[in-house]
Chains A and B, each alone.
Chain A
Amino acid sequence: MAVAVSEVAVSRRPVWGKRARATINSLVAIILALLVGAIFISIAGASPLPAYRSLVSGSVGSEFAIGQTLIQAVPLLVIGLGLALAFRARVYNIGADGQFYLGALAAGAVAIGLPGTFGPLLIVISLIAGALAGGFWGWIVGFLRARWAVNVVISSLLLSYIATYIFTYVIRRPLRDSTASGLLGKGIPDAAQLPLVSGFGVHIGLFIALLLVPIVGYVMTRTPFGFRVRMLGMNPDAAQTTGVNSGRLIIVLMVISGGLAGLAGAIQLAGVADRLDPTLSNGYGFTAIVVALLGRLSATGVLLAALFLGALNAGGQAMSINDDVPYAVVLAIQGVFVIFLLVADRLARGR
């Protein structure tokens, strides 16, 4: 969590020289990461060049591959936006994975429980239910912090485990799909599933995610609320002294970031999984932390970082299927990429 919240002043313009340096640094970082990754792949007994070819073709090589990248990017983007907002105030919610699962669970329960007569409204209702559930889980963390100064990092992480186990319990007992051979929850009705966009095979959750980018960006940089959030992150003492109610603000931020994580879970359920699946998340709640930090806590930055990590996810899956690279190695390579990029970013900013 040591990556500092970026300092964004209302009136500053980016300096070109700095930006050019940042780009060069990023390119060097990617090349270095590819080299280190090649070593990993060789050790695992595969050959690096074909593996990297799969990485590229599996993420941007075809319409299908691009679709896979976008599908991977949607949950990262939705969660990452909420985390970026909270991280600006140094409210380090790292329990998004649990909030994601709880959102999916609430959305699924509503979709399965309500009669099919609601039609397309069922989608809206279940998405709202998901956001509310995630938001409630975040609220608990914020309330504990505001009332008894309980550390947000610790309580959000521990509550995340509780949420995950609640999800597992529900699909084991009340909402178990008894016809499935493994451990799976019930499927949601067709009416609650998100329609697909023609062409790329992506669900319309993509548009919800893209719509959130300018909204969150506006809130962060152009509203008094966003101003107070930034102030709280930059100097909590000064914020409090000039009238910011820090306790209330922390609660609101936890509700928003939890709510967006819950919404992401509901979207993932309705758009990709179609049933309460224990592997629904694929670690999105944790990868989204990286997305938020890599995106320098700005809305457009989060968009780019989500696309990048989405591509790594999609390409990495292709790599492990086509080239016999173990998935653990794929994850290690992703980690190498992120570390090199974070270091490059840090160096470009110069300390």
Chain B
Amino acid sequence: MPDGRVSSAAANGSSAVIAMRAVTKRFGDLQALGDVDFDLRPGEIHALIGENGAGKTTLMNVLYGVVSRDAGTIEANGKQVDIRTPQDAIELGIGMVHQHFKLVSTLSVVENIVLGQGGHVLVRKRRLAGVAERISELGERYGLRVDPWAKVWHLSVGEQQRVEILRALYRGARVLILDEPTANLTPGEADGLLEKLKAMVRDGASIVFITHHLEEVLGSTDRITVLRAGQNVGTLVPADTSTGELARMMVGRAVSLGGRSRDVAALGVEVAAAADRPAAQAAPTAGSQAVLTVERLRVFSDRGELALDGLELSVAAGEIVGVAGVEGNGQAELEETLFGLRKTAGGRVLLDGVDVTDEAPAGLLARGVGLIPSDRYRRGLVGQLTVAENLLCDRIDKAPVGSRLRLRRKAILARGADLIERYSIPASGPAQLAGTLSGGTAQRVVLARTLSRELRLLIAAQPTRGLDVGAMESVWEQLEAARRRGLAVLLISTDLDEVLALADRCLVVYGGRVIAQWARAQLNRDAIGLAMGGAQPGGRGGDGTDAGLEAVTGAG
């Protein structure tokens, strides 16, 4: 990086708590890390950013002893160390909170925290009580309050994350690694977490913070290291950079997000600006026929609880309706129910005025409903099949790729290659196995399959979850294009920035029903954030309807 502001890692080596030098790691043919230098100074929050597959998590897994390095050295407090297992890392005072929590959901918080600490065959109640006291103490100090005796499966995502952090602190971590800690939190919770991290840093801890959110990086970290394709492309100070520059460093080129040609700098930072969309692209005129109408929908979750409780919404042609909300407020069930994957317990679903409640996916596909599933690996792709087969599996018995009694292998490959080109899918070819695709490429395959059908309604659930900026850009552009083509688009997303950037109307679901909605011109980040928390930030179990939400105004 020919950039004057990029600090020389070696120059700061002596004052670093952790200094990683020339760390290299290969997975088969893939160079995950190539000669990466990274250092962490005492008492800093150091952000580690980069696209999917850039090596952020791998680098930290090397530090935590989960992944062995092929070459390079690690120094802790100036002394060379050899970290081979997480146990080694923990002894050196390094703690890591993984993106996917490593908790046993049927055990209590205390049990999870003592789990894996050797030396005790039996876990004595008295010992647990001591641990519980210490946890409460730590929780009090850093505002990470959680009931030590609660079973983990009773806890919300945010609370489970607190348990993970408390576990690391309990084990004496002075260096804390957090892998995408804000991915599943509401904006309010994320801000709260950042405050708590600052408190820990004031007490002398050092923190590595892996994230996708450029805004967070600028707002609350001391230094930023950008990785691209396993290389350290620079370490910067927030005051000297911008989201635009960071995005360019991550991707290696300029990026623009969304069909509204907004700069990446606006990614969640300047939401208000998004309201001034050209008139030609304005929301559909009032009175246009609703493509999708959902009436008083009631649906049970797998656990037998009422996940959707009288949910109502409608989507017109040429409109993107965004459904915002914290994970677990019925979004997953809404997605499944609208695509016939889950039975309703009450209410109706109308498509162009026709009742399609509880119709099977095959029938809905034939009626022009498309789904971008939130879990693209479980619902979207078959990993052991090729990219071409995945692109065509919903029309495998139709010309030109097949007939009732025959698959035309050559036609499948040719047509697959065709779609790969048309939708710019960066796969090595139509015969590549889908299971080997990166997250962004996998999502492009799902989008290409869905959008190459004749569609009336597109349901996009968490379409950019876990994707890097480049892939996100492509997905957003395609959703915009679908809207321009006159499709009705229902965007279900826990990423508020995404909803704000794309939606013509925004609904907030809480406790299985829509508790607030806004037209595009009235979008207000704070009000939405408040509604996502059920209008009572931090409060749980309250009834969303009588929460005194002033923002509840029918719109559009």
Contacts and interface: CB of A to CB of B under 8 A. Distances in A.
A88 to B, nearest CB: 12
A140 interface: no
Give the bracket for the number of chain B residues in contact with chain A: 35 or more
A223 interface: yes
B303 interface: no
Given A10-B407, A231-B393, A244-B362, A238 B386 contact: no
B373 A11 contact: no
Most buried by B among A228, A234, A235: A235
A200 interface: no
A9 B373 contact: no
A10 B409 CA distance: 7
B407 A9 contact: no
A19 interface: no
Interface residues of chain B: helix, strand, loop or mixed (majority): mixed
B371 interface: yes
A11 B382 CA distance: 15
Given A11-B431, A235-B381, A237-B378, A224 B360 contact: no
B378 A235 contact: yes
B382 A235 contact: yes
Contacts of A245: 360, 362
Contact of B362 (A12, A223, A231, A243): A243
Contacts of A235: 378, 381-383
Contact of A11 (B381, B386, B406): B386
B406 A234 contact: no
Contacts of B378: 235, 237-238
Contacts of B388: 11
A308 interface: no
Interface string B430-453: 010100000000000000010000
A227 interface: yes
A63 interface: no
Contacts, number: 79
Contacts of B373: 241
A234 B341 CA distance: 18
A240 B361 contact: yes
A256 to B, nearest CB: 15
Contacts of B312: none
Contact of A234 (B380, B383, B413): B383
A10 to B, nearest CB: 5
B389 A238 contact: no
A231 to B, nearest CB: 6
A238 B341 contact: no
B385 A234 contact: yes
A241 B339 contact: yes
Contact of A237 (B379, B384, B396, B397): B379
Contacts of B339: 241
Contacts of B383: 234-235
A341 B119 CA distance: 42
A11 B362 contact: no
Contacts of B380: 238, 241
A7 interface: yes
B534 to A, nearest CB: 30
Given A224-B404, A238-B378, A243-B361, A10 B341 contact: no
List of 7 A-B pairs having minimum Cβ-Cβ separation, nearest first: A224-B397, A7-B384, A243-B362, A242-B394, A235-B382, A11-B431, A241-B379
Interface of B: 339, 341, 360-362, 365, 371, 373, 375, 378-386, 388-389, 393-394, 396-397, 402-407, 409, 412-413, 431, 433, 449
11 contacts: A10-B407, A11-B431, A224-B403, A224-B407, A231-B385, A234-B385, A235-B382, A240-B341, A241-B339, A241-B371, A245-B362
